[in-house]
Structure 1
Amino acid sequence: MPLPSSVDVAIVGAGAAGLGAAHALRDNGVTFIILEARNRVGGRGYTVQAAPDVIFDVGCGWLHSADQNSFVPIGEQLNFEIDRTLPPWRDRAFGEVFPERERREFYRAIDAFYDRLDEAALQREDCPASRYLEPGNRWNPMIDAISTYVNGCELDQVSLLDTDAYEDTEINWRVRRGYGALMAVYGAELPIAFNCNVTLIDHSGHGLSLETSQGRLTADKAIITVPTNLIADEAIRFSPTLPAKVDAAAGLPLGVDDKVTLLLSEPEALPKDGNLRGLTMRTEMGTYHLRPFGQPCIEGFFGGRYARQLEDAGEGAFAAASIDEIVSYLGNDFRRKLTPLAESRWAHDPFARGAYSHALPGHAGDRAILAAAVDDRLFFAGEATSPNFFSTAHGARDSGERAAREVLAVKKGKR
């Protein structure tokens, strides 16, 4: 839609947080618009049809803590099928690539590591989570690999207290048509100005003035939902400056996580919804979801420094690394069965600059700092502001709803 000259509330970003904020503002007597730099909704939630019979969530794909996930009832209301198949993790590994005896030993080691983290967190003193790796444990590199999938970084960059704050009910479902596809429908009827990149928010006067790639907009209030890296890098500037927000965002950087999908020409050779991970004893490794939803493909997942290295190597690097690793597990005959379809490069996306947030050691308290409103005019949302469901799409959506309720409370004089 065209950019209006003035609104009551400007929402910056049409990712999950922006959509949650917009839905909470509807029918509450305020005018609002979402300003989205991309040409689509969803932000880091994005589904593509990678092949005629393969849908691929380029971004978020799992309904984490599904029994508490607000996107589950939303999906059901919008007639999206919720797939409750168990995720291909822990004991659902494929074949002898990672033998059962070795898997059990690994999971004993990683469970003991998390038990040590839980006990240490009771002391309320923050430090790198890596401090609680058992010195010399053969499984430490793979435990670190798990961190790259969960946090987007290795354990030396992860806050102990932030890790302890995360809530996980260990119920994980999926959206059959794609999580990004669900977000697209969720945002379909909202007022959104696409290709509208916000560069400056001037809050020096009584109202707000927002400079965008489509011109200037004034608003009484704004809800800022962009990823932390954009705030930390001052891709969006504030006047007067907000050093506490910039510092908090810098303490909550987006890690790097990326995905690739490979077409499988002989799908019957592999089990539906299985997992392939090798006994590698290294952190630089992928993990592979075999035939998600029974589709004829393999979905690979990479994180941390290794994912950044592959991103920097350019387009096609994830597919090449995936094929080489899968062939090393299953034999060279598999090379002819695999064809690259699509991959992500979130750290190189100018409007994301990473996958999802983690708190650096000593910065667990930055989530509350980032979430706090400024002068009852600037409100902040996004997964990084969620106290317990950070790094998730539903945590982002719920934070947007929270920010919208704060806006409405100010307007009604209840704050």
Structure 2
Amino acid sequence: MNSEPDIAIIGAGAAGIGAARRLAQTGLSISIFDALPRLGGRAWTCKTSAGPVDLGCGWLHSADRNPWTRIAEESGFKVDRGLTAWGEQYRSLGFAKAEREEARRAFARWSHRVATAQPASDRASDALDPGGSWTAYLQALSGYISGDELERISVKDYSAYDEASTDCNWRVPTGYGALIAASLPAGVELHLATPVEALTLDERHVVLQTAGGAVRARAVILTVSTNVLAGGAISLPSALDPWRDAAARLPLGNNEKLFLEIVGDSPFAPESHLLGDPRDPTTGTYYIRPFGSLLIECFLGGAGARIAAAEGHRAAFDRAIGQLASLFGSSVRDCLRPLVASDWARTPSIGGGYSHALPGQADARVALARPLDDRLFFAGEATHTTDFSTAHGGYESGVRAAEEVISVVVPSSQSRA
């Protein structure tokens, strides 16, 4: 282990890798540390008997301007630009066309208020129809989008993302997580399964304490999740209390995925989708047979994801299979097998899905992104003011933090490399 690298990066997810890719162009020595035994952070393509599945981010959101699209093409990863089944309800099962139209109108009314008549409270729930019949549906959508109920979502924050999004969503058939993990540049000293236990500042360096010993770096880029930063997993100096406070105002929502394997004959059509129960805010939403595979991907958000985390995988799979059986008939129970599930909420080095600002706290993203003393720099999806909650937001924040480092530690002629 290099005990005195020029730059240390804490976190080997999209932000850390983005920072490393930019810094690798400067000739600086770079060490990257992650508590997990793998690259990618919240991007994780898991190999299964039924094929690769993304337990974390799975869609190239705003793909027409997403830097991972370019990286994928340059690296030989196929990008699928085909239309997807999101927004459809296969054969209108459990959600008739007339009901879908009513629910979409309710969402449109809420979206219009959010965009044009933002409530003074900045609380997204205050833009709902009073006594509206589709509130449970909108809460379910909030769970998928933000990982939490509308009562805990900042309208200003939500609108910033919504206005910047291009609604262009593509896929990487071999896995978004696989793409991100394959993108760490050569020459970076990588330390996996190596959590940073403490961070201190001396007169000239940032000192990291790890199980492998102390590391003294000229500058550090910290990319850990807001739940980790706000918690006590890393011992931090009191000078960082304002950053911990900002992180606490940008908590991670709850988002989990379950994958079911399809065996034998089944009624499941390739590239189809349906919402489990539009009147249940804890419902799963199901993407069936992506790319023709024999898989069903179940997304859980907000209250549904919290229930899954609390009750465990077995109960979550049982609930998902039961919901599908209620739509397709009880016989489908015989052709569905639990395959693999995420557990982001109970992963100590992450602690949830992705960040959202609490009402009145959208400006915490700017506060969280500020450097400290030209030695400690911050990146991660939560520091991006418009593309938070995404892998491309994480990547862009890493590049931004790297540029900040370069402006301080690299001579101007070299920084243009």
Q: Secondary structure at the match of 1:242?
A: helix
Superposed, 1:82-161 pairs within 5 Å as 82-91=79-88, 93-121=90-118, 125-161=120-156
Q: Secondary structure at the match of 1:108?
A: helix
Aligned to 2:333: 335
Hey, what's the Cα distance between the residues in 1 that align with 2:250 and 2:170?
27
RMSD: 1.6
Structure 1 outlier segments of 4+, above 6 Å: none
What count of residue pairs does the alignment treat as equivalent?
Answer: 410
2:107 maps to 1:72 = no
Hey, what's the Cα distance between the residues in 2 that align with 1:389 and 1:367?
11
Aligned letter for 2:244? Answer: V
Q: Is the 8 A contact 2:24 2:185 kept in 1?
A: no
Hey, what's the Cα distance between the residues in 2 that align with 1:174 and 1:280?
26
Q: Secondary structure at the match of 1:49?
A: strand
Unaligned runs of 5+ in 2: none
Quote the offset at 1:93 in angstroms: 3.8
Q: Secondary structure at the match of 1:174?
A: coil
Aligned letter for 1:33? Answer: S
Distance verdict in 2 for CA 1:279–1:102, change over 3 Å = farther
Q: Is the 8 A contact 1:327 1:334 kept in 2?
A: yes
Aligned letter for 2:73? Answer: E
Quote the offset at 1:213 in angstroms: 2.1
Equivalent residue for 2:53, pick from 51, 56, 78: 56
Unaligned runs of 5+ in 1: none
Hey, what's the Cα distance between the residues in 2 that align with 1:240 and 1:110?
44
Q: Secondary structure at the match of 2:64?
A: helix
1:171-209 C-alpha deviation (Å, 9 max, x unpaired): 001101001111121126342111110121111422111
Aligned to 2:349: 351
Quote the offset at 1:92 in angstroms: 5.2
Hey, what's the Cα distance between the residues in 2 that align with 1:143 and 1:314?
25
Hey, what's the Cα distance between the residues in 2 that align with 1:10 and 1:207?
11
Hey, what's the Cα distance between the residues in 1 that align with 2:90 and 2:132?
22
Q: Is the 8 A contact 1:14 1:41 kept in 2?
A: yes
Aligned letter for 1:357? Answer: S
Q: Secondary structure at the match of 2:112?
A: helix
Aligned to 1:404: 402
Aligned letter for 1:174? Answer: R
Superposed, 1:279-298 pairs within 5 Å as 279-298=277-296
Quote the offset at 1:412 in angstroms: 4.0
Superposed, 1:252-291 pairs within 5 Å as 252-266=250-264, 269-291=267-289
Equivalent residue for 2:180, pick from 178, 183, 186: 183
Tell me the TM-score normalised to structure 2 length.
0.95
Quote the offset at 1:85 in angstroms: 2.2
Superposed, 1:298-377 pairs within 5 Å as 298-377=296-375
2:191 maps to 1:196 = no
Hey, what's the Cα distance between the residues in 2 that align with 1:103 and 1:280?
9
Aligned to 1:224: 222
Hey, what's the Cα distance between the residues in 1 that align with 2:22 and 2:358?
31
Q: Is the 8 A contact 2:344 2:351 kept in 1?
A: yes
Distance verdict in 2 for CA 1:84–1:206, change over 3 Å = same
Aligned to 1:174: 171
Distance verdict in 2 for CA 1:108–1:302, change over 3 Å = same
1:109-136 C-alpha deviation (Å, 9 max, x unpaired): 1011111100124x8x452100010011
Tell me the TM-score normalised to structure 1 length.
0.95
Q: Is the 8 A contact 1:7 1:219 kept in 2?
A: yes
Q: Is the 8 A contact 2:44 2:57 kept in 1?
A: yes
